[in-house]
Amino acid sequence: MNVSEIAARAKQASYILGALPPETKDRALNAMACALRVHADEILAANQLDLQEAKRAVEAGEMKPALYERLKLTREKLEVVIRGVEELVELPDPVGNVLAATELDEGLNLYKVSCPIGLIGVIFEARPDVVPQIAALAAKSGNAVVLKGGREALHTNDALAKVLQNALASVPGYPPEALNLIHTREESAQMLALDQFFDLIIPRGGNSLIAYVKANTKIPVLGHADGVCHIFVARSADVEMAKKICIDAKNQYPSACNALETLLIDENWPDHYKKELLDALVKSGVELFGGADVAALAPVRGPVTDWHTEYGEKKLSVKQVKNVLDAVEHINRYGSHHTDGILSADHDEVQIFMDLTDSAGVYHNASTRFADGYRYGFGAEVGISTGKTHARGPVGLEGLTIYKYKLYGNGQIVADYTGAQAKPFTHKKIGGNI
Q: Which domains does the chain have, with CATH numbers?
A: 3-94+113-221+397-401 (3.40.605.10), 229-370 (3.40.309.10)
379 has pLDDT over 70: no
| CB contact at 8 A, 414 and 428 | no
Q: What is the pLDDT of residue 121?
A: 97
Helices (H), 91-145: 130-141
CA distance 179 to 145: 5
Q: What is the pLDDT of residue 325?
A: 98
Q: What is the pLDDT of residue 168?
A: 97
217 or 209, higher pLDDT: 217
Helices (H), 170-323: 185-192, 207-215, 239-251, 271-283, 292-295
Q: What are the tens digits of pLDDT across the range 27-74? A: 999 999 999 999 999 999 999 999 999 999 999 998 888 788 889 999
Supply the angle between the helices 130-141 and 154-169 in degrees, to the nearest 10: 30
DSSP lists the bridge partners of residue 405 as 112
For strands 98-105 and 108-116, give the pairing.
antiparallel
- Give the rounded percent of residues in the chain with a pLDDT score beyond 70: 100
Q: Could you tell me the pLDDT band of residue 225, with boundaries at 50, 70 and 90?
A: low
18 has pLDDT over 90: yes
Q: What is the pLDDT of residue 136?
A: 95
The residue-averaged pLDDT of 322-349 equals 97
Q: What is the pLDDT of residue 306?
A: 97
Q: What are the tens digits of pLDDT across the range 117-167? A: 999 999 998 788 899 999 999 999 999 999 999 999 999 999 999 999 999
Q: What is the pLDDT of residue 17?
A: 97
Across the chain, mean pLDDT equals: 94
Q: What is the pLDDT of residue 159?
A: 98
The residue-averaged pLDDT of 247-260 equals 94
* 3-class SS of residue 72: coil
Q: Residues, the chain, total?
A: 434
The residue-averaged pLDDT of 355-383 equals 90
Q: What is the pLDDT of residue 125?
A: 83
Q: Could you tell me the pLDDT band of residue 208, with boundaries at 50, 70 and 90?
A: confident
Q: What is the pLDDT of residue 381?
A: 79
Q: What is the pLDDT of residue 276?
A: 98
The residue-averaged pLDDT of 333-356 equals 97
The residue-averaged pLDDT of 413-423 equals 94
The residue-averaged pLDDT of 240-244 equals 98
Q: Could you tell me the pLDDT band of residue 385, with boundaries at 50, 70 and 90?
A: confident
Helices (H) and strands (E) in the chain, counts: 14, 16
| CB contact at 8 A, 288 and 102 | no
Four-residue CA torsion sign, 109, 97, 137, 34:
negative
The residue-averaged pLDDT of 219-247 equals 93
CA distance 92 to 369: 26
433 has pLDDT over 90: no
